[in-house]
C-alpha cells in the first residue's frame, strides 16, 4: 500500500530527528527537515512522482529522491530502520512532550542516561535535571508540566480521533439505529470514552462488534464495552420505545442530568434512563424520542451542545432558547492557507474546493514573512498573490478574499507595514512565538495588535494545541473587552488540534457583543470539512447566525471590516 504525502513527510521528519538525537551532521539534519516540509506542501501524490520530478523540488537531490520513492512505496527505508536501531525504542516517545526537541533528547540521553518519559519524570521529581549543564529548576518544572499534559492526552481524544473511532464502530451498526451520545454528541473539544445508544437487538450487534473490536471488555444484553485501539467504547442497548429516554440520559453532562432530575422531582415525577414514572411508584412512561420527553415536561427540546447546566433548562421551560447557528448558515471559511505559504493547494484548486462545499467565499490567509518556517509572504509576494486572486475570481463562484495571517511579534508589533495591510480584504493577527511570556505581557501584546486599524480578527486566541501545548497565559476578560471596544472579531479555530476559542469564552464574547469568525485553518482540501467543528463550538457558546461573520455575504462582510 502506497504511503500518503503526510506519512512520507512524517518519516522524513523522524529521520531528521533521529539524526539530531544521535548527534550527526547538522546539514544533513536540515536537509531531511526541509524535504519533509516540501513533501507536505506539494499538491500531487508523491507516490506518483518520477525521480526527475522529485529532484525538481527545491532541496531534494538524487539521494533524498530515492529515499522518498522507497518511503512512498513501502512506508519505510533501510536508513530509517538503522537509525531506529541506534536508539532505545522509548527514547522517541520523549519527542511527544511539549518543549522537548531532538537536541534536548540528545542531552538527556547522553548526559543523564534518560531514555523514556517515566525516567524523565523520576529524574525531574528527584531534582536531578538541574545537575545537567544548561538546565535548571525551571526546566524541571517545565518537564513535569509537559509530562502531565502528555498523560492527559493519552486518555482523551480530539474530535478527529473520536470520529475515527466512531467510524470504525459504525461499520458494525445499521444506519439509523444508533446515536453517539456523551461528550461527543455535546460537541466537547475533547472526548473521553465513546458512548453509543443502539436500538438494534443486542445479539445481532454483539456478533458484528467482535469483528471491529481490538478487545471485548464485556458483552451483554444491556451493555457491551469494547476497546478500539487504546480507546473504550460503551454501547447501551434499548428497545425503540425507550430510545429517547436512554439517549437523553447518556448525552447530558453530570450537572445537566442532576438539574433535570431535580426539576422532575419538583413536578412529582422521577426521571431515569428508562423513562419517567410518578414518584409514588406509578407506571413508567417510555419515550421513543427526546422531543416527546421534553414536551411532556413542558420544555422545548434542548440542543445537545447546550446540555451543560448553564441556564439552558430554565430557558427551555420559558420557551426562550436561542436559534443556534447551523452549517447551513455558513457562507464561507475565514481562515485557509494556500501553497504560497504552508498549504498544499494552488489558488484555483482552493476556489474549486470552496465551490464544492457551496461557499460564496474563502479568506486566503497565508502566513506573513516573519514566520519563516511557513514560507511567509513579504510585500512583493502579497502583491503578486493579489493579482493571482483577481484572475481566479473571474471564473469562480467561490470568491477568494485576499487576507493574511500576520504574526503578532513578541513586542506586540506587526511585521508588515500598514500600507500593505490596508490593501487586504481582511487581516488575521496571531501569536506564533514566545508562548511563555507572562500573562500581563502576553495580554498587552495581543491588545496592541487589536489596537491596529488594520487587524480584523485575532486568530486562535489562546494558542493551545490539544494534547501537546497548553493555552498561553492570557487575560481573556481584557481581550474580550478590548475586542468589543475595537470591533475586532475573535476566531473560533475549527482545527481539531486547536478548537480555540473554546465554548465558555465564546459565550462571554457573544454576550459582550463581539463578533466571532470561524476558520478551519485548513492547509488542504479535506481540512475544509473541519468547519463542522467550528459550528459545534459556536453552538456550545450559544451563538446564533447573527454572532458569526461567516453568516454574512461577502459584500456585507467587507463592509463590516471597513
Output the pLDDT for position 230: 81
Kindly state the cell numbers that stand for 64: 533524498
According to CATH, the superfamily of the domain at 327-561 is Metal-dependent hydrolases (3.20.20.140)
Is 5-153 assigned to CATH 1.10.150.110? yes
Distance CA 230, CA 122 (A): 25
What residues contact residue 155 under an 8 Å CB cut-off, 6+ apart?
192
3-state helix vs strand vs coil in the chain, percent to 5: 50, 15, 40
State yes or no: pLDDT of 5 exceeds 60.
Answer: yes
The residues spanned by each domain of the chain are 5-153, 157-237, 242-317, 327-561
Output the pLDDT for position 475: 94
Percent of the chain with pLDDT over 70: 97
Q: Count of alpha carbons within 13 Å of 538, Cβ hemisphere only?
A: 34
Average pLDDT in the 409-419 region? 94
Output the pLDDT for position 555: 96
Q: Of the candidates 207, 272, 270, which has an alpha carbon nearest to the alpha carbon of residue 235?
A: 207
Q: What digits encode the pLDDT tens for the residues 101-148?
A: 889 999 999 888 998 888 999 999 999 988 888 888 888 888 888 888
According to the per-residue pLDDT averaged within each range, which of 77-91, 144-158, 278-292, 409-423 is highest?
409-423
SS3 306: helix
Percent of the chain with pLDDT over 90: 65
Label residue 315 by pLDDT band (50, 70, 90): very high
Distance CA 49, CA 53 (A): 6
Output the pLDDT for position 152: 65
Output the pLDDT for position 142: 87
Indicate the CATH number for domain 242-317.
3.30.210.10
b/e string for 351-379 if b means 16 or more Cβ within 10 A? bbbbeebebbbbbbbbbbbbbeebbbbee
Average pLDDT, rounded, for the chain: 91
According to CATH, the superfamily of the domain at 157-237 is Beta Polymerase, domain 2 (3.30.460.10)
Q: What digits encode the pLDDT tens for the residues 366-386?
A: 999 876 445 789 999 999 999
The residue with greater pLDDT, 276 or 74, is 276
For residue 173, what is the DSSP state? S
Q: What digits encode the pLDDT tens for the residues 431-478?
A: 998 888 999 999 999 999 999 999 999 999 999 998 778 899 999 999
Label residue 351 by pLDDT band (50, 70, 90): very high
Cβ contact 172:208 at 8 Å: yes
Amino acid at each position: 500500500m502506497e504511503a500518503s504525502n503526510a506519512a512520507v513527510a512524517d518519516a522524513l521528519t523522524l529521520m531528521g530527528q533521529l539524526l539530531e538525537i544521535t548527534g550527526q551532521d547538522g546539514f544533513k539534519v536540515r536537509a531531511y527537515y526541509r524535504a519533509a516540509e516540501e513533501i507536505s506542501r506539494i499538491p500531487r501524490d508523491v507516490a506518483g512522482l518520477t525521480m526527475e520530478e522529485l529532484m525538481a523540488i527545491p532541496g531534494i537531490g538524487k539521494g533524498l529522491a530515492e529515499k522518498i520513492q522507497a518511503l512512498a512505496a513501502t512506508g519505510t527505508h533501510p536508513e530509517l530502520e538503522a537509525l531506529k536501531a541506534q536508539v532505545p525504542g522509548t527514547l522517541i516517545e520523549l519527542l511527544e512532550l511539549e518543549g522537548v526537541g531532538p537536541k534536548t533528547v540528545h542531552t538527556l540521553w547522553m548526559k543523564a542516561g534518560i531514555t523514556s518519559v517515566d525516567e524523565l519524570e523520576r529524574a525531574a521529581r528527584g531534582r536531578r535535571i538541574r545537575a545537567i549543564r544548561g538546565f535548571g529548576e525551571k526546566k524541571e518544572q517545565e518537564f513535569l508540566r509537559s509530562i502531565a499534559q502528555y498523560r492527559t492526552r493519552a486518555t482523551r481524544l480530539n474530535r478527529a480521533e473520536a470520529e475515527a473511532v466512531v467510524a470504525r464502530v459504525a461499520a458494525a451498526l445499521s444506519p439509523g439505529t444508533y446515536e453517539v451520545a456523551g461528550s461527543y454528541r455535546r460537541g466537547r473539544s475533547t472526548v473521553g470514552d465513546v458512548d453509543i445508544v443502539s436500538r438494534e437487538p443486542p445479539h445481532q450487534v454483539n456478533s458484528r462488534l467482535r469483528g471491529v473490536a481490538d478487545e471485548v471488555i464485556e458483552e451483554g444484553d444491556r451493555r457491551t464495552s469494547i476497546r478500539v485501539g487504546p480507546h473504550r467504547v460503551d454501547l447501551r442497548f434499548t428497545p425503540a420505545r425507550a430510545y429517547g429516554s436512554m439517549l437523553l440520559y447518556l448525552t447530558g453532562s453530570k450537572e445537566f442530568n442532576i438539574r433535570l432530575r431535580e426539576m422532575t422531582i419538583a413536578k412529582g415525577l422521577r426521571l431515569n434512563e428508562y423513562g419517567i414514572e410518578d414518584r409514588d411508584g406509578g407506571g413508567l412512561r417510555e419515550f421513543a424520542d427526546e422531543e416527546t420527553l421534553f414536551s411532556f415536561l413542558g420544555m422545548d427540546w434542548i440542543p445537545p451542545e447546550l446540555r451543560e447546566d448553564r441556564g439552558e433548562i430554565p430557558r427551555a421551560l420559558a420557551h426562550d432558547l436561542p436559534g443556534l447557528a447551523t452549517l447551513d448558515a455558513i457562507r464561507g471559511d475565514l481562515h485557509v492557507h494556500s501553497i504560497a505559504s504552508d498549504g498544499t493547494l494552488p489558488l484555483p484548486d482552493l476556489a474549486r474546493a470552496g465551490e464544492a462545499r457551496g461557499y460564496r467565499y474563502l479568506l486566503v490567509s497565508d502566513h506573513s514573512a516573519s514566520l519563516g518556517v511557513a514560507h511567509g509572504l513579504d510585500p512583493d509576494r502579497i502583491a503578486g498573490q493579489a493579482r493571482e486572486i483577481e484572475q481566479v475570481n473571474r471564473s469562480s463562484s467561490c470568491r477568494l478574499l485576499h487576507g493574511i495571517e500576520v504574526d503578532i511579534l513578541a513586542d506586540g508589533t506587526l511585521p508588515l507595514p500598514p500600507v500593505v495591510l490596508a490593501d487586504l480584504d481582511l487581516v488575521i493577527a496571531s501569536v506564533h512565538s514566545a508562548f511563555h511570556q507572562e500573562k500581563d505581557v502576553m495580554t498587552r501584546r495581543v491588545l496592541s495588535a487589536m489596537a491596529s486599524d488594520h487587524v480584523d480578527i485575532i486568530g486562535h486566541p489562546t494558542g493551545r494545541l490539544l494534547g501537546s501545548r497548553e493555552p498561553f497565559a492570557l487575560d481573556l476578560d481584557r481581550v474580550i473587552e478590548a475586542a468589543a471596544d475595537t470591533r475586532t472579531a475573535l476566531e473560533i479555530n475549527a482545527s481539531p488540534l486547536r478548537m480555540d476559542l473554546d465554548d465558555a469564552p465564546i459565550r462571554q464574547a457573544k454576550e459582550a457583543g463581539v463578533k466571532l469568525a470561524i476558520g478551519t485553518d485548513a492547509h488542504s482540501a479535506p481540512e475544509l470539512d473541519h468547519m463542522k467543528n467550528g459550528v459545534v463550538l459556536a453552538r456550545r457558546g450559544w451563538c446564533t447566525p447573527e454572532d458569526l461573520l461567516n453568516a454574512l455575504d461577502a459584500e456585507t462582510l467587507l463592509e463590516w471590516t471597513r
